[in-house]
Chain A
């Protein structure tokens, strides 16, 4: 029993990442009808927003500390971040420590900007082209973005630790009545899951309860009619593209403590997130979220030792296997709408 709970919990954090990326992809597909292969790159850009911010925060200048000596006996030179000078040492240290959560604020405007730029500059010209062309041009864009990041940040992983307060693990089992130590779960993964749920909730609330969201939903159902009513639907869809980019970026920002960012992390997630979108049903937002969590949990169950002994290698292929089965038995995916991308 405790093993099952543990696997479900393990699946949740990976599932959250899948769900967030797939949600963004579906937003873009549902509104603009564009298959965006550069979405993984947006996830990666978000992660590198964190890296950039923590580098900016730790920008420092040398100060001679007369009280201490280095090994040659000269006064020790210490690198002091500028932020210590501005906010005092303890506040400054706390700000640097909380760099990852702070990057959320930093990443939102940047990612929305990148998204809007991408839509206006490139994607706009591909609405009328076939899906294959859209896949190809965004695939090319993904390569370009990835190489630019590689040029500036190098090919190695760059660690971005979580704040001290969230380092360590929670004994989840003891809280709900299992043996102490049976279910240990890192704090940051709980944070990530809650953050993902919050973000998903915010996107759904935005679409459901605001006038803007209502117009966007109407546009998703019938773009032409909304246009005929005198509403500039294109501009709203551009904003939605920016929001989708921000969702992917934030997923990347918060993922950095779990997995240190490197330049090809986007490509690694891209393949799986497309599988997630298709399993959930093209154009269905709840489907994308549901499929993200289902596949994440399925993957963590398949990595259990007992399962691997029974079916060796199944942990590597279970997602693809599930995708193949679902695509062949439920042509529209789990929650796909009738009439959206039905071959």
Chain B
């Protein structure tokens, strides 16, 4: 199917089903139950899941395939966001030009940065990309204020020109309001809700557009992983020197890979701007680059599905875990005697709520130390464990064989 082998095709289908059914699957608890705060099926968070999924998939194409650790990917994300915003200010409120333009701009910028940074490898490459990203961040926050809005950021305004005709999303205002980003008239924030026996499922247009983009991005990533080009990149990871000695110039391959990865980041940035039309410079800060590294490692470097899992996990932590407060904990541990519940609350409290970064850091360290392959490797190990047990059992059951 679509030039994929059976295994990859089934992976793509599974991911597609998950993306389509996410509003249902991520809302496992009834609306009024005490566990409802663990529901992640609201549009804003689901959009973030898939957008950061795209970002992490793109990062993984670079880091997972070639082993080049870029600490500057947030620059492309930010550049994509700014580019998308400008399209929505100048051309039309339709998200399609915004998404296309953000991807292209990020591609151009990553071509320039990659051209220079890829002269070096290893830690020097990391430092170079970091330096470029920090420069981009500092400039966006100060000198480039006419383009980026500086500290206040960039928003859509009432008096933006939006020169395209009305039916393509042009026009500066709708009924005196700032128009919301839309796709041929369907607003990104529009959603319809289906209440089913206590559950409330929200199907949001913006989420599905992001979801479709992620599926396309995922499909392209699979094709890259399985292509001769991907094989070349893997060869760079395992031994670049040998590649050079066999007479192959790896530079063009590396540059192409870097640009593709940057374009993924730009696409994610453009989608972020399209879902929530405001951009600030902090999106380019190096901590944002660090976050995508965390996502990729948590999920599993060099695997197809890993980065998406990692992105989902971190965004889930950031939005759900950070909301748990002391009172909630006291309710949970209320079943125990007082002294015991106090003890548990004191132990657990530093790790949740505002301290979720601590849990994240510990989890991350644990993964790097014990599970270098991330969650995906963890899953594989568990499956292997079960397989061995069942095969042992079958061996015992049929000793005669």
Chain A residues in the interface with B (C-beta under 8 A): 35, 122, 125, 130-133, 135-137, 139-144, 146-148, 150-151, 267, 271, 274-275, 278, 282, 312-313, 316-317, 320-321, 323-324, 327-328, 331, 341, 343
Known A323-B127, A328-B119; contact A316-B368, beta-carbon cutoff 8 A: no
How far apart sit A278 and B132, CA to CA, in the bound complex (Å)?
15
Question: Once the chains bind, are A343 and B122 in contact (CB under 8 Å)?
Answer: yes
Which stretch from B12-20, B216-224, B310-318, B355-363 is at the chain A interface?
A: B355-363
Question: Once the chains bind, are B357 and A282 in contact (CB under 8 Å)?
Answer: no
Known A312-B143, A343-B120; contact A317-B286, beta-carbon cutoff 8 A: no
Which stretch from B133-141, B226-234, B249-257, B264-272 is at the chain A interface?
A: B133-141
Question: Once the chains bind, are A271 and B132 in contact (CB under 8 Å)?
Answer: no
How far apart sit A271 and B138, CA to CA, in the bound complex (Å)?
13
Known A137-B368, A313-B143; contact A341-B123, beta-carbon cutoff 8 A: yes
Question: Once the chains bind, are B355 and A147 in contact (CB under 8 Å)?
Answer: yes
Which one of B128, B355, B368 has the greatest number of beta carbons of chain A within 10 Å? B368
Question: Once the chains bind, are A151 and B350 in contact (CB under 8 Å)?
Answer: yes
B293 within 8 A of A: yes
Q: Using Cβ atoms and an 8 Å threshold, which residues of chain B touch A321?
A: 131, 135
B10 within 8 A of A: no
Within the complex, which residue of B124, B142, B143, B364 is in contact with A140, where a contact is CB–CB below 8 Å?
Answer: B364
Pairs across A and B, CB under 8 Å, 22 listed: A122-B369, A135-B126, A137-B369, A139-B290, A140-B365, A143-B357, A143-B361, A147-B357, A147-B361, A151-B358, A271-B130, A275-B130, A312-B142, A313-B138, A316-B143, A317-B134, A317-B135, A320-B132, A320-B134, A327-B127, A341-B123, A343-B120
Chain A residue at minimum C-beta to C-beta distance from B367: A140
Known A132-B69, A143-B364, A320-B132; contact A274-B127, beta-carbon cutoff 8 A: yes
Question: Once the chains bind, are B124 and A327 in contact (CB under 8 Å)?
Answer: yes
Within the complex, which residue of A144, A267, A343 is in contact with B358, where a contact is CB–CB below 8 Å?
Answer: A144
B121 within 8 A of A: yes
Question: Once the chains bind, are A317 and B127 in contact (CB under 8 Å)?
Answer: no
Q: Using Cβ atoms and an 8 Å threshold, which residues of chain A touch B128?
A: 323-324, 327
How far apart sit A278 and B120, CA to CA, in the bound complex (Å)?
12
Q: How far is the CB of B109 from chain A (nearest CB, A)?
A: 15
B40 within 8 A of A: no
Question: Once the chains bind, are A136 and B361 in contact (CB under 8 Å)?
Answer: no
Chain B residue at minimum C-beta to C-beta distance from A272: B134
B372 within 8 A of A: yes
Q: Using Cβ atoms and an 8 Å threshold, which residues of chain A touch B290?
A: 139
Q: How far is the CB of B167 from chain A (nearest CB, A)?
A: 41
B116 within 8 A of A: yes
Q: How far is the CB of A42 from chain B (nearest CB, A)?
A: 15
Chain A residue at minimum C-beta to C-beta distance from B119: A328
Within the complex, which residue of A125, A130, A282 is in contact with B369, where a contact is CB–CB below 8 Å?
Answer: A125
Within 8 A of A (CB), among B109-159: 116, 119-124, 126-128, 130-132, 134-135, 138-139, 141-144
Q: Per-position contact with A for B334-377: 1 when CB-CB < 8 Å, else 0?
A: 00000000000000001000010110111011001100100000
B297 within 8 A of A: yes
Q: Using Cβ atoms and an 8 Å threshold, which residues of chain A touch B138?
A: 313, 316-317, 320
Chain B residue at minimum C-beta to C-beta distance from A279: B127
The 7 closest A-B pairs by CB, nearest first: A313-B143, A143-B361, A316-B138, A147-B358, A140-B365, A320-B131, A144-B361
Q: How far is the CB of A188 from chain B (nearest CB, A)?
A: 28
B378 within 8 A of A: no
Question: Once the chains bind, are A343 and B124 in contact (CB under 8 Å)?
Answer: yes
Q: How far is the CB of B136 from chain A (nearest CB, A)?
A: 9
Which one of A122, A132, A137, A271 has the greatest number of beta carbons of chain B within 10 Å? A132
Q: How far is the CB of A185 from chain B (nearest CB, A)?
A: 27
How far apart sit A341 and B364, CA to CA, in the bound complex (Å)?
27
B67 within 8 A of A: yes
